Chains A and B, each alone.
Chain A
Amino acid sequence: MDILTIFVAAILVNNYVLYYFLGICPFLGVSKKLDSALSMGMAVTFVMTLTAVASWMINHWILIPFGLDYLQIVSFILVIASLVQLVEMFIRKMSPPLYQALGIYLPLITTNCAIMGLALLASLKGYGFIETVVFGIGSGLGFTLAIVLMAGIREQLDLADVPKPLKGAGIALIVAGIMALAFSGFSGMIK
Chain B
Amino acid sequence: MSSKKSIGAEYLKGLWDENPIFRQLLGMCPTLAVTNAVINGIAMGLATAFVLILSSFVVSSIKKLIPSQVRIATFIVIIASFVTIADRFLAAFFPPISKALGPYVPLIVVNCIILGRQEAFSSRNSVARSLLDALGMSTGFILSLLILSSIRELLGSGTFLGYQVMGAWFKPWIIMILPAGAFITLGVLLGIVILIDTKTKKRST
Contact = CB atoms under 8 A, between A and B. Distances in A.
B25 A113 contact: no
A21 B182 contact: yes
A116 B175 contact: no
Interface stretch (A68-76, A87-95, A127-135, A152-160): A68-76
A169 interface: yes
A1 B51 CA distance: 36
A170 B115 contact: no
A18 interface: yes
A77 B76 contact: yes
Interface in A92-134: 111-113, 116-117, 120-121, 124
Nearest to B108: A73
**Looking at chain A's contact residues, is the secondary structure mostly helix, strand, loop, or mixed?**
helix
B29 A21 contact: yes
Interface in B167-205: 175, 178-184, 186-188, 190-192, 194-195, 198
Contact of B179 (A18, A121, A165): A18
A28 interface: yes
Nearest to B88: A70
B130 to A, nearest CB: 20
A72 B103 CA distance: 12
Main secondary structure, interface of B, reads helix
A24 B28 contact: yes
A116 B77 contact: no
A174 B187 contact: yes
A89 B22 CA distance: 36
A180 B103 contact: no
A117 B107 contact: yes
A177 B183 contact: yes
A28 B25 contact: yes
Interface of A: 18-25, 28, 70-74, 77-78, 81, 111-113, 116-117, 120-121, 124, 163-166, 169-174, 176-178, 180-181, 184
Q: Which 9 A-B pairs have the closest CB atoms?
A: A173-B187, A177-B183, A177-B184, A174-B187, A181-B180, A24-B28, A21-B33, A180-B180, A165-B195
